[in-house]
Amino acid sequence: MKFPIKPKKVKGAHPSPVDALVYPRFSGVPTFMRLPHVPRADELDIALIGVPFDGGTTYRPGPRFGPLNIRVQSAMIRPWNPVLKTDPFSRWRIADYGDLSVNPLSVDDTYTRITKQLQDVLKAKCRTVCVGGDHSILLPILRAVHSESGPVALIQFDAHGDTWSGHFGSPHSHGTPVKYAVEEGLIEEGCAEQVGLRGQVYSEHDFDFAKKHRISIVTAEEFHRGGNNLLKPFIKRIAKRPVYITLDIDVVDPAFAPGTGTPQVAGFTSAQMIDVIRSLNGINLAGCDLVEVSPPYDNGEITSLLAANLLYEMLCLF
Amino acid sequence: MKFPIKPKKVKGAHPSPVDALVYPRFSGVPTFMRLPHVPRADELDIALIGVPFDGGTTYRPGPRFGPLNIRVQSAMIRPWNPVLKTDPFSRWRIADYGDLSVNPLSVDDTYTRITKQLQDVLKAKCRTVCVGGDHSILLPILRAVHSESGPVALIQFDAHGDTWSGHFGSPHSHGTPVKYAVEEGLIEEGCAEQVGLRGQVYSEHDFDFAKKHRISIVTAEEFHRGGNNLLKPFIKRIAKRPVYITLDIDVVDPAFAPGTGTPQVAGFTSAQMIDVIRSLNGINLAGCDLVEVSPPYDNGEITSLLAANLLYEMLCLF
Amino acid sequence: MKFPIKPKKVKGAHPSPVDALVYPRFSGVPTFMRLPHVPRADELDIALIGVPFDGGTTYRPGPRFGPLNIRVQSAMIRPWNPVLKTDPFSRWRIADYGDLSVNPLSVDDTYTRITKQLQDVLKAKCRTVCVGGDHSILLPILRAVHSESGPVALIQFDAHGDTWSGHFGSPHSHGTPVKYAVEEGLIEEGCAEQVGLRGQVYSEHDFDFAKKHRISIVTAEEFHRGGNNLLKPFIKRIAKRPVYITLDIDVVDPAFAPGTGTPQVAGFTSAQMIDVIRSLNGINLAGCDLVEVSPPYDNGEITSLLAANLLYEMLCLF
Amino acid sequence: MKFPIKPKKVKGAHPSPVDALVYPRFSGVPTFMRLPHVPRADELDIALIGVPFDGGTTYRPGPRFGPLNIRVQSAMIRPWNPVLKTDPFSRWRIADYGDLSVNPLSVDDTYTRITKQLQDVLKAKCRTVCVGGDHSILLPILRAVHSESGPVALIQFDAHGDTWSGHFGSPHSHGTPVKYAVEEGLIEEGCAEQVGLRGQVYSEHDFDFAKKHRISIVTAEEFHRGGNNLLKPFIKRIAKRPVYITLDIDVVDPAFAPGTGTPQVAGFTSAQMIDVIRSLNGINLAGCDLVEVSPPYDNGEITSLLAANLLYEMLCLF
Amino acid sequence: MKFPIKPKKVKGAHPSPVDALVYPRFSGVPTFMRLPHVPRADELDIALIGVPFDGGTTYRPGPRFGPLNIRVQSAMIRPWNPVLKTDPFSRWRIADYGDLSVNPLSVDDTYTRITKQLQDVLKAKCRTVCVGGDHSILLPILRAVHSESGPVALIQFDAHGDTWSGHFGSPHSHGTPVKYAVEEGLIEEGCAEQVGLRGQVYSEHDFDFAKKHRISIVTAEEFHRGGNNLLKPFIKRIAKRPVYITLDIDVVDPAFAPGTGTPQVAGFTSAQMIDVIRSLNGINLAGCDLVEVSPPYDNGEITSLLAANLLYEMLCLF
Amino acid sequence: MKFPIKPKKVKGAHPSPVDALVYPRFSGVPTFMRLPHVPRADELDIALIGVPFDGGTTYRPGPRFGPLNIRVQSAMIRPWNPVLKTDPFSRWRIADYGDLSVNPLSVDDTYTRITKQLQDVLKAKCRTVCVGGDHSILLPILRAVHSESGPVALIQFDAHGDTWSGHFGSPHSHGTPVKYAVEEGLIEEGCAEQVGLRGQVYSEHDFDFAKKHRISIVTAEEFHRGGNNLLKPFIKRIAKRPVYITLDIDVVDPAFAPGTGTPQVAGFTSAQMIDVIRSLNGINLAGCDLVEVSPPYDNGEITSLLAANLLYEMLCLF
């Protein structure tokens, strides 16, 4: 798959959300954004795909229910974006692809399954928007993307760098995917940026990996002062390279996104988060994901609601 | 449609739940009991149908979200009933039909819609298991059943008789469907039984309607002492007549079913409720519904979970 | 005040609940059972009185909000009791008296205030139904009752005996009122029964006080086997003596009454609780209270709802 | 009623909140801001009025419980505003008027009732602060205001424009009152401003109605950048015209106001919201409302708490 | 270790719970039953051990937080059991041993760790009461027990048989430990009983394994009718053999134990559960566990509270 | 104790948090920040001390559970602060000291106990970080500090001034400690600053005490505009004087800190709060506390999580 990709001319209507002025939003079988359930990649330009795996969590579990609850809360999404002035559903053929098959009892088996299934989707020239699941799924996703399109640039919204080398004697967890993605060459050297890092770390050496591999960092503290402008140098540097966005919901403050596994205070507001996604308009988006929504901890479902909106905003970047 | 109905011989496999030993129960687009979504009545013997209307509630609202949440919580249902020794999914073609179109802004418009849509289903010789919604939907359901099959016997599990004549100047609410069903002749005279009534009423005359129309009553107090046996005289009396079961979840105690709109203490336990449904095995079931699950009040989703099990047990009665 | 008391002939209508067939139950300023707020004892036969004090709790606090939340949840109460065949609101003049003035910063000051205020009510020949608050309020209530009417018999529904002699160096807490009431002679010797005791205690000597003072005990384990009949010998023994009922909601199992401060598993069901209250019909009721509802721990408000119903059933005993 | 209105000289004390230094805030029958319940308009300058109707909701229901829960959470309100340096309770006679009679089963009947009852209040020269209920109540409120005082200017704080023409075949819902108010001439042409709009819409034509009728719009995105100053041109333009403020709580971000029916991310913070209300000081306020607080979805009651404070701040604008 | 074991004579005081009449139950670092934290098996007769692993769950996760929350809720436990007339803390040296080291990222690694660590405890002649964690931990526990003491009899309280052979291609999950324990000879042939099974299964062949291996079954339906007596034949048959009890909290009804991963309606009440444990008094208890408490789903913490009480009752069986 | 204090040279390792890369954060007996429980002041430089008293609350109770829940939520704390570039655990010997003995039944007794116990700690040259508990504990804490070190400067983060003279006839509550601390000379005249005050007060005279005693005030409204810089003049003025920080969590907005007893809208965000604490780096910190976290009202535990982070940030100021 070569980037950038142009919208295809297709006969007939695109899949579109059920009309809520006719059918109430509380009715029907819940799919992402009330789009049809279309488990065939060759009929789609972009697939919304659930990846309900949380076997990589090290603290609170729960993201295995992320796709389900984000489906339910995405019932409020309407098609037209008045800020970016676009309707992604009329621009691209987008639908709910369903969930990938995962094995909650094995990280390794799940990694193999995810990469294999996504390769099939990508081969059909359908880009993927994965809905986690915990952040451990990033590695097998990037492996699939790499096998189809080569290395990508990475924008990571996250409270944590996820570059640790393992936990409890196991290499793969939700705290390690970026390390292995970099070491496996899935991300282009010098083309990764982490936005929103904050909170205590284990030692001052926790950032050594990022320095060594020229990962740019915009901390939450810097972002609270400098805002979207701080991302511009990186965006300029990666120019027209294909970019993959991975959005760990814990980049957002627990007040706005309580439903997550390793919440970190002093994060982004929902307004900042929506705004920074929109500021990326114009990048050459190869794919994206949103991870770490943990419904059992999501008071009032506001995390899933925010996640649904962030997925929509990312759809508008394609 | 003439009762009783025999299972059809059909070619090919029946719709069956996704296998949870292969695909985890937390994954996929949620449908009733993980059955396929089949919105075509002529392919089914029994349709699980959502009726997400709560415009008839007089106290707490919320049952409009009943079908959605019961879908989600029904992910735990497995096919074989070891007590009744049956698998309804292999006996009948059963699927998730989707939700009826309703108008949350108008009781009258919704009544017309429900009756019309259900008539279309029933005409296709497909029986219906309606998932409410509030109890006001019983009237348009019985109108549809009557128009296809004539009057039925009624077994009503409920904390309240629902024979009031109106609230606030309006005739139709969730407290009135039985009165109008009786007066419209939808229920065969002398062939209705109410089980589980309890709690204070407005006056000693509240039971006059039931007496006048020979509605049998087994109060919760009586049931706590006499159990399933108290229903036997009625079951014997209605013999092989087609029976419609309407199950208001508030018949169950708020400890077991907190998610409902007019909860009444001292109700049935879940074990009593499951058991009394099973005790009806052998009746000639024309159709059934389960109403008044109000997800906003359902702590821990245990009401929706119980509702899913009760729907399954009623499926085993067909 | 001499017992028993007869209903007074009064001119004009009794205070009665707002009619929910005309005004929805979710509307209006919330009072106990939607009765008028009448802070004048001489206009009433029975006063529903809030006593929002929880300065005597030793574990979870919260019962200070008991009167407020029980007011809110009592909106479902209707007037006619079809089991006892009575309407207490037409038999007696009953209203919401409001709350007593308490001092959350001082047990001693509150004790003085409660006794004083209740004496004023009792002097007006108005009996009291106090809504706690924690169980420490029982002592100043019984002091007031005693000062007007002499010693009473006591029926205590409770998971705990509340006969400890103090906590942390202080004499008065929610675990001690019965000890001091007995020692102060507020309760007639040999005329107290505790129903529902269960759970571990500190040592086998915890029951020595009860034995010494001839307090009858029906444990929860005994009640689960023997039921209401176990109370009959006591009821017979106290004959026509004035009886005070104190109902600690923790006598009920946490599944039915989670909102309490020292919950104890294996308690009464709501059906058992309603039923045992009704079985007391015919006693000479001097007054009663319901305590230890802790709204911050009341999931789904089912504890307050049960409390409202139990208050209603106790009103039917007058 | 002609605007502006001056505070009346009255003999005796104004209604004032119960003193919380003497009577704890958790005690007593809950009224708005612990003010007396005074259901007589001729004794008041400003009436706090509950309008517990949510029959116009199209997604999550619940605002019928808004007045009740806002009453409960308003127990924290104290009289003196140190920023605006005013005490509204000593300036005006303000009390809890109680709730209007509504019919949860019929939008049309409720519309008639609301207009009629408010006309009676307004005729007594008492201005109204209505506490919803869903936003559908705005139309019958404005009809009453119009019948007494002619067209008003409108300031609408809201995530949504509420200018749709209907849902599901019915004209009136919580998404349509502004359209009909404009078309019925209740709002002066060119004198309406909507503040806080955001989120996706159905199409780019969703703003055509606003443009046609010269409704000013300050989107949330604009407000996050420009703040209160963006409202100044409109305030200047409407000069001394009587202004009606309608405040849909969903203008506030779900982190600060989760308890609402159609929550929209990236909204106002509570600090922004309080501040923008205060910035309106000096307008000629004809009346106001606060709507769409849905208690079943209000985690931690923070929405009702915020609503109570916003009602207080609006009282300070009179 | 040979069974039965006699209490040792020890010098000095046994570990005992902090006295709650002196130190409030809400204070201090929370340990099981407010016992000291003693991570040295040779100082103890019985160790309360947390096993915070939930990598074997197939539906809702969360039991990794079981030991933590049961510690917190066990603060209510007092020492003397008035029904069994014993104080386990004075009979045996019992303390909070702390948690085993587990690897949430790997079932296999965790299995090895659990067996190894428990063998060290058992070698010190200290029996274990393990607090899960999900039911998958039963297998490595029984392996440790077997390596020290040979095969045991098993009493399993559970809604599910847990004799499946695997999920999603992996052999070990919380649904399989009994199968492997039987096949590995950890349980004496013909000496296992399952109590409380209920709910649908996959097919009528789901019980073939139990039949083949002569596992006795008392279903929940049978227990609701026959009670404790149904266990007597088994108890008699195993006579004085060492018995291991495994208690999956989902044997209890979701109303009493909502906080679990695969809840099944129509289960035991808390009173039935406490009572059936007590009925085992006199068996030769080799060890026990309580599993599947999932705090993220535990509304009102009543599941952890019940679990703490059940652990206490099991301690009284030693 | 003379300030400033230098880190001691000590042999052997400092107490340090359990390594979460080896032992999962959900495991083990919960202590503050997973530090060892060391109830001996002479082995520590700084003691984290629970003060579980809430007998001074005037509205919602609950802070007695503050130390417990903050312990649990502090499991996420890591040692290195990348903004202040320090690791407090390697700089000072810090541990969980346990809870002070308090008497929930008596403010006076508790005051005596707190002062006495803290004096013992301070005498051992160990500074204290107290975790409340309600704000009434500030007075006995400052009495202990004063008795060891004389008057201190005070920085108070709080929505309320806490300078009232009493409630309900009692002098000491959570609304009065600052008044008495000033009057008793515990705080140096002119060396107190209150940051974050907001919300209505009783009258314009509520600030008279502050004016009279030259307490500086930075209101929330001022802080939202001027930020950290507004504190600089005060910091400069107190120069190198020993400073005590008292942090009432209600200074933070209810969206970020719902779990508190007298929540006030329009407060600080968590990012503002963390940032303003860090801006104090360089002061001569004599001790500090964090109070008014009320777990029963803490939806999603985000208040306790924030509190744990704020305690950590304050540790970094030593």
Sequence-distant (≥ 6) Cβ neighbours of residue C203 within 8 angstroms? E79, E80, E87
Quick one: average pLDDT of A232-237? 96
**Cα dist. D284→D1, D8, D48, D152, D241 in Å?**
13, 16, 18, 10, 6
A178: nearest Cα among A44, A56, A305: A56
Chain D contacts in chain A segment 45-104 (CB below 8 A): 75-83, 85, 87
Residues in chain A: 318
Residue E213 near residue E180, CB atoms below 8 Å: no
For residue C149, the 8-state DSSP code is H
Nearest residue, CB atoms, E297 vs list B26, B300, B312? B300
Taking the C-alpha atoms of residue E111 and residue C254, their distance in angstroms, rounded to an integer, is 35
Q: pLDDT value at position D11?
A: 67
Interface contact flag, F255 D302, Cβ < 8 Å = yes
Instruction: List the subunits that have 3+ CB pairs under 8 angstroms with F.
Output: A, C, D, E
Interface contact flag, C296 F62, Cβ < 8 Å = yes
Q: pLDDT value at position C152?
A: 98
Q: pLDDT value at position A8?
A: 66
Interface contact flag, E27 F72, Cβ < 8 Å = no
**Cα dist. A270→A256, A275, F224 in Å?**
6, 8, 18
> Residue C3 pLDDT more than 90?
no
Nearest CA in chain E to F63: E26
Q: pLDDT value at position B11?
A: 67
pLDDT bracket for residue E240 (50, 70, 90): confident
Nearest residue, CB atoms, C59 vs list E26, E269, E312? E26
Residue A212's H or E segment, with its range, is helix A208-212
F166: nearest Cα among F186, F191, F140, F136: F136
List alpha helices for chain D, DSSP H. Answer: 66-73, 88-91, 107-123, 138-149, 177-183, 208-212, 220-226, 232-238, 270-278, 302-315
CA distance A277 to chain D (A): 12
> Residue E2 pLDDT more than 90?
no
Is the four-CA dihedral F16, F22, F25, F28 of positive or negative sign? negative
Domains within chain A, CATH numbers bracketed: 32-315 (3.40.800.10)
Interface contact flag, E105 A168, Cβ < 8 Å = yes
Taking the C-alpha atoms of residue A165 and residue C40, their distance in angstroms, rounded to an integer, is 73
Residue A282 has phi, psi (to 5 degrees) of 110, -15
Q: What is the pLDDT of residues D210-249, one digit of tens each?
A: 999 999 999 999 999 999 999 999 999 998 899 999 999 9
Q: Is F165 on the interface with C (CB under 8 A)?
A: no
3-state helix, strand, coil in chain D (%, to 5): 40, 20, 40
Q: pLDDT value at position A239?
A: 84
Chain A residues with beta carbon closer than 8 angstroms to that of E167: 105
pLDDT bracket for residue C5 (50, 70, 90): confident
* Residue located via tokens 């809905």: A131
Interface contact flag, E62 A62, Cβ < 8 Å = yes
Amino acid at C299: N
C292: nearest Cα among C167, C191, C177: C177
E touches F, CB cut-off 8 Å, minimum 3 pairs: yes
Q: Which two tokens stand for residue C11?
A: 């001119």
Residue E80 near residue C201, CB atoms below 8 Å: yes
pLDDT bracket for residue E130 (50, 70, 90): very high
Q: Which two tokens stand for residue D217?
A: 């719009």
Amino acid at F183: E
Interface contact flag, E200 B79, Cβ < 8 Å = yes
Q: What is the pLDDT of residues D67-106, one digit of tens each?
A: 999 999 999 999 999 999 999 999 999 999 999 999 999 9
Q: pLDDT value at position A9?
A: 63
Nearest CA in chain B to C305: B265
Interface contact flag, A202 F77, Cβ < 8 Å = no
Q: pLDDT value at position F9?
A: 63
For each of chain B's 318 residues, which pLDDT tens digit applies? 777 777 766 667 899 999 998 899 999 999 999 999 999 999 999 999 999 999 999 999 999 999 999 999 999 999 999 999 999 999 999 999 999 999 999 999 999 999 999 999 999 999 999 999 999 999 999 999 999 999 999 999 999 999 999 999 999 999 999 999 999 999 999 999 999 999 999 999 999 999 999 999 999 999 999 999 999 999 999 988 999 999 999 999 999 999 999 999 999 999 999 999 999 999 999 999 999 999 999 999 999 999 999 999 999 999
Q: What is the pLDDT of residues C249-284, one digit of tens each?
A: 999 999 999 999 999 999 999 999 999 999 999 999
Nearest CA in chain D to F169: D22
| DSSP bridge partners of E37 | E96
* Residue located via tokens 């990022």: A210
3-state secondary structure of A87: coil
Q: pLDDT value at position E9?
A: 63
Q: What is the pLDDT of residues C85-94, one digit of tens each?
A: 999 999 999 9
CA distance B7 to chain E (A): 20
Mean pLDDT, chain E, rounded, equals 96
Helix H, strand E, coil C: the string for chain E is CCCCCCCCCCCCCCCCCCCCCCCCCCCCCCCHHHCCECCCHHHCCEEEEEECCCCCCCCCCCHHHHHHHHHHHHHHCCCEECCCCECHHHHCCEEEEEECCCCCCCHHHHHHHHHHHHHHHHHCCCEEEEEECCHHHHHHHHHHHHHHHCCEEEEEECCCCCCCCCECCECCCCCCHHHHHHHCCCEEEEEEEEEEECCCECCHHHHHHHHHCCCEEEEHHHHHHHHHHHHHHHHHHHCCCEEEEEEEHHHECCCCCCCECCCCCCCECHHHHHHHHHCCCCCEEEEEEEECECHHHCHHHHHHHHHHHHHHHHHCCC
> Residue C4 pLDDT more than 90?
no
> Residue C12 pLDDT more than 80?
no
Sequence-distant (≥ 6) Cβ neighbours of residue B282 within 8 angstroms? none
Nearest residue, CB atoms, F79 vs list A168, A200, A299? A200
Q: How crowded is the C-beta side of E169, counted as CA atoms within 13 Å?
A: 11
Q: What is the pLDDT of residues E80-117, one digit of tens each?
A: 999 999 999 999 999 999 999 999 999 999 999 999 99
Write b or e for each residue in D275-289: b if 16 or more Cβ atoms lie within 10 A of its Cβ, otherwise e. bbbbebeebbbbbbb
Quick one: average pLDDT of C292-303? 96
Q: What is the pLDDT of residues A199-228, one digit of tens each?
A: 999 999 999 999 999 999 999 999 999 999
Chain B residues with beta carbon closer than 8 angstroms to that of A102: 24, 27
Strands F152-157 and F242-248: parallel
pLDDT bracket for residue C240 (50, 70, 90): confident
Nearest CA in chain A to E54: A61
For residue B139, the 8-state DSSP code is H
Q: pLDDT value at position E8?
A: 66
The strand ranges marked E within C136-254 are 152-157, 187-197, 216-219, 242-248
Taking the C-alpha atoms of residue D128 and residue D287, their distance in angstroms, rounded to an integer, is 5
Q: pLDDT value at position D9?
A: 63
Instruction: List the subunits that have 3+ CB pairs under 8 angstroms with D.
Output: A, B, C, F
> Residue D112 pLDDT more than 80?
yes
**Cα dist. E50→B268, E39, E130 in Å?**
36, 11, 6
Interface contact flag, C270 B266, Cβ < 8 Å = yes
Q: Which of C99, C101, C105 to mutate to test the interface with F (most CBs of F within 10 A)?
A: C105
3-state secondary structure of B130: strand
- Torsion, CA A119, CA A123, CA A127, CA A131, rounded to 10: -20
> Residue A127 pLDDT more than 90?
yes
- Which of the residues in chain F have pLDDT under 50? none
